[in-house]
Structure 1
Amino acid sequence: MLEPREANLTIDLCLRVGELLLSSGAGAADVTATMQGLSRELGMRHAEIDITFTSLAMSYQADPEEPALGASRQVNHRAIDYDHLTQVDHLVRRVLDGDLDVREARTELARIVSTGHDRRRSMITAGWGLMCGGVAIQLGGDLVVIALAIVSSVLIDRIQLRMQRRRMPSFYQQVVGGGVATLLALGVGATPLPVNVSLVVTANIIMLLAGIGFMGALQDALTGFYVTASARLLEAFLATAGIIAGVTGGLSVATVLGVRIPRLEPGVANLQTLGMLAVGSAIAAATFAYATYAPRRILAPIALVAGLAMLISRVIELADVGRAWSVGVAAVFVGLVSFTVAGRIRVPPLVVVVPAIVPMLPGLLIYRGLTLLSEGGSATSQGLLAMAGAISVALALASGVILGEYIAQPLKREAARVEARLSGPRLVGPVHAASSTRRRRRKRAEAAREAEAEAEVEADELG
């Protein structure tokens, strides 16, 4: 039994680890399993953990006759940060290997949180710009569209950064981003340049689309965390509604200013050849990973996996197979290879999975569906079809990745016992908790033998 002081320190450590993982993009199932493994390794068995979208709670009662210990933490800041995610993953593994006790782990976690990144913020802005340029290539844009996508994304990122520093809600950031993207596209469309304004708007709003949140919601639903899934889904719809408000606001401003507005259909795409699709997807995935602080050593593998996944999806789709099945097969491929690639480069599989499927996310379908639904009338049926397509694509991506991880992870008997307590395969955190426990016990036994040997030597010297 842990002393109350040690138990409180363990609960606090687990909650801080869980908060950082959840705010950095990890799923609720992975966060729960990581906290359970960490607490069990530190001597706190059968701890109760409850996770929602904005809070974490943990309680422990060593004896029914003793009062229960508990604490909770709020997730106030939410941003994808794969650098912190990777460092915390390594920290958890070191604790499970017996290299760190609870106090050392708390010190290391404080260092991770307080240490900045090795990339300047301006380089992150450039990364977002190149990501939108890669998606513009993927959508079939020419050099003008690609350049406008890069310029627009850089401008939107700098404006949103200022709004974040003023603690403006994300909905208003989306509104401003959609308005800036629309006004820039209409301004270029009013010039003699021959440009497809609809495609420019589509490329400009790529970085604002909420496909990741939508897929994350379905992934949480598949793993049994329905409250968190509902919250993620509402966040995704609210973010997309903000873009729609920004685009319509930009059109209204252009009308007042007397700018000629051509027929505008945001969300249209004219997919390129297979080679350009693969190149655009690889660029988008690698630069997305760079902009979310993924380690540099994983960028090239992510680009390769994303390019191959897009080729698989497009080839299957060209064979008259539905898009949901085509992206589902590609997602299974991503799940299969991400486990091996991540293990070799020592990053969590989530760092490979999410950037690799970014080019296939249904953000544009969600946008088109909500836009058509807001118009009403005859467009309602088309909007419902678009939303149904978005849901099917996101569900195919989430279930395909999970299935690929199920197939890829080598489940031995001890690991299977750990996995039986989880809702699904792990995208963050170590799987083989049982084997790490054996390593910890082996280290303790070796330390005990060394202490006995030293005691014998001292006894001989005194004798």
Structure 2
Amino acid sequence: MIETREVQRTLDLALRVGEMLLSNGAGAADVTATMSSIAHHLGLRQTLVDVTFTTVHLSYQPTPDDPVVSATRHVTHRETDFDDLTRVDHLVTDLLSGEIDLDEARIRIAQISSTGHRTPRWAVTLSWGFIGAGVAMLIGGSWIVALIAAVAAVGIEILQRFLSRLRLPFFYAQVAGGLFASLLAVSASAVDIAADPSLVITASIVMLLAGLGFIGAIQDALTDFYITAVARILEVMISTVGVIVGVSGGLTVGGMLGVDIALDPGASGLSRFPLMVAGAALSAAAFAFAAYAPGRVLLPIAGIAGVASAIYLLLAESDLGRAWPAAIAAIFIGLVSYAVAGWARVPPLVIVVAGIVPLLPGLSIYRGLSLLADNDYTGILEMITAIAIAISLAAGVILGEYVAQPLGREARRLEQRLAGPRLVGPLRARAVRKKMR
């Protein structure tokens, strides 16, 4: 019989791990499987795990005659922190493999949650500039457009960080970011700079969409965590609406000033294909750096994103539309990320979230806004296309993981209860240990 104190310590560890994973974008199925595995490994059989968008809950009853011991933690802070995600993943792997015990695991999770990062803040801010420049290159912008997009991205990052310190809801930060980018583009167009301001806005939209929980939302929906899926989708929708409101406000100001920044139909195409692929690789690697991903995985992320974007660009020139090319490129990311994640000793979620950044539907959103600003209601179709692209990206990545991730007998038993691929968590422990030996 395990003592009550040990039960509480075990529940506390599992809850802290679950909170860390959930706050960094892991799917509810991954969080549930990880918490269950930790409790089972430490001697608590048949624990009940409940994961929602804002809470993680564990309960344990040794026998039907004993009182239930339960504990809950609330997830109040959300961010994309690949360093914390990777360190927690390694902690779980070491614990389940018997390399550390409960006491060591509790010390390590406390260190992860309380220590900062060695990357200086100015470097993170500068990396957002590279994201903007890379996306501008991807959509065919010149070096002037890339430079202005970089300035816009840096300004947005500084502005959003300031607003977060004021504890304003993230929606208002998205509105402010979209408004700042569009007003900067209007100003550039007003002073007659030889650059297409619409591409600056498009690059800024992609930057504002980067890191949102598209993948986690679709993963939760596909693995039957419908309440959490609805909450994640609602959060993504509110954040995206904030971007749309901000950008549309800037376009309205531009129209009042007589500045036309409609999208140039000739901005697309493959006239600068090598630079476009290089821009995709740059933006993905820069996002991973801004999210504190380990340095060893930056080049693989750049390569995967570059190839995926090349696939998308080539297929988009055919008659497949835009959603199917995005889905095929995302499937490639999901297929490759599992093997690369094992080699780099990071969760696949790190690679797939960064890898889809160049493919986010910023161009479709801007086209829709431009058409709606001119009272052309075909802009609604562009918005629907943007939604289809976002769903295709998330579903494609998860399908790629389904195909790529090998499942043993033990994994298959767990899959009967928690169907779905694991982007973080215990089912990767054996592969990770082999790579670390």
TM-score, with normalisation over the residues of structure 2? 0.91
Matching of residue 262 in structure 1 with residue 260 in structure 2 = yes
Aligned residues: 432
Decide which moves more: 205-214 or 266-275: 266-275
| CA distance in structure 2 between the aligned counterparts of 1:236 and 1:148, rounded to whole angstroms | 27
* Distance change >3 Å, CA 434–CA 302, structure 1 → 2: closer
Contact 1:218 1:394 in 2 (8 A): no
Point out 4+ residue stretches in structure 1 off by more than 4 angstroms: 251-256, 265-269, 366-373, 375-378, 432-437
Q: Find the counterpart in structure 2 of residue 83 from structure 1.
A: 83
Q: Identity of paired residues, percent?
A: 51
Q: Find the counterpart in structure 2 of residue 99 from structure 1.
A: 99
* Distance change >3 Å, CA 206–CA 403, structure 1 → 2: closer
| CA distance in structure 2 between the aligned counterparts of 1:359 and 1:55, rounded to whole angstroms | 32
- The aligned runs of 1:345-384 (5 Å cut-off) are 345-366=344-365, 369=368, 379=377, 381-383=378-380
Q: Find the counterpart in structure 2 of residue 446 from structure 1.
A: none
* Distance change >3 Å, CA 394–CA 241, structure 1 → 2: closer
Contact 2:89 2:424 in 1 (8 A): yes
The one-letter code matched in structure 1 to 2:360 is: L
| CA distance in structure 2 between the aligned counterparts of 1:433 and 1:121, rounded to whole angstroms | 33
The one of 397, 411, 415 aligned to 1:415:
411
* Alignment gaps of 5+ in structure 1: 438-463
| CA distance in structure 2 between the aligned counterparts of 1:396 and 1:135, rounded to whole angstroms | 20
| CA distance in structure 2 between the aligned counterparts of 1:44 and 1:4, rounded to whole angstroms | 11
| CA distance in structure 2 between the aligned counterparts of 1:235 and 1:150, rounded to whole angstroms | 26
| CA distance in structure 1 between the aligned counterparts of 2:374 and 2:51, rounded to whole angstroms | 38
- How far 1:219 moved relative to its partner? 2.4
TM-score, with normalisation over the residues of structure 1? 0.86
SS of 2:395's equivalent in the other structure is helix
Contact 2:288 2:354 in 1 (8 A): yes
Q: Find the counterpart in structure 2 of residue 194 from structure 1.
A: 194
Contact 1:211 1:361 in 2 (8 A): no
1:144-163 CA-partner distances (Å, limit 9, x unpaired): 11011000111111111111
Contact 2:269 2:317 in 1 (8 A): no
Larger radius of gyration, structure 1 or 2? 1
* Distance change >3 Å, CA 211–CA 114, structure 1 → 2: closer
1:132-191 CA-partner distances (Å, limit 9, x unpaired): 110000011111110110001111111111111121111111121122112211111111
1:383-402 CA-partner distances (Å, limit 9, x unpaired): 1x224323332332222222
SS of 1:57's equivalent in the other structure is strand
The one of 369, 380, 393 aligned to 1:397:
393
User: Cα RMSD over matched residues?
Assistant: 2.6
| CA distance in structure 1 between the aligned counterparts of 2:250 and 2:424, rounded to whole angstroms | 41
* Distance change >3 Å, CA 159–CA 414, structure 1 → 2: same
SS of 2:62's equivalent in the other structure is coil
Decide which moves more: 388-397 or 124-133: 388-397
The one-letter code matched in structure 1 to 2:204 is: N
- How far 1:419 moved relative to its partner? 3.1
| CA distance in structure 2 between the aligned counterparts of 1:434 and 1:94, rounded to whole angstroms | 10
- How far 1:70 moved relative to its partner? 1.0
- The aligned runs of 1:285-434 (5 Å cut-off) are 285-366=284-365, 369=368, 379=377, 381-383=378-380, 385-431=381-427
The one-letter code matched in structure 1 to 2:82 is: Y
The one-letter code matched in structure 2 to 1:67 is: P
Decide which moves more: 405-414 or 220-229: 405-414
Contact 2:217 2:232 in 1 (8 A): yes
The one-letter code matched in structure 1 to 2:268 is: N
- How far 1:432 moved relative to its partner? 5.8
- The aligned runs of 1:219-258 (5 Å cut-off) are 219-251=219-251
1:28-55 CA-partner distances (Å, limit 9, x unpaired): 1111111111111111121111112111
SS of 1:46's equivalent in the other structure is coil
- How far 1:17 moved relative to its partner? 0.5
| CA distance in structure 2 between the aligned counterparts of 1:229 and 1:124, rounded to whole angstroms | 30
* Alignment gaps of 5+ in structure 2: none
- How far 1:81 moved relative to its partner? 0.1
| CA distance in structure 2 between the aligned counterparts of 1:357 and 1:95, rounded to whole angstroms | 31
| CA distance in structure 1 between the aligned counterparts of 2:146 and 2:109, rounded to whole angstroms | 41
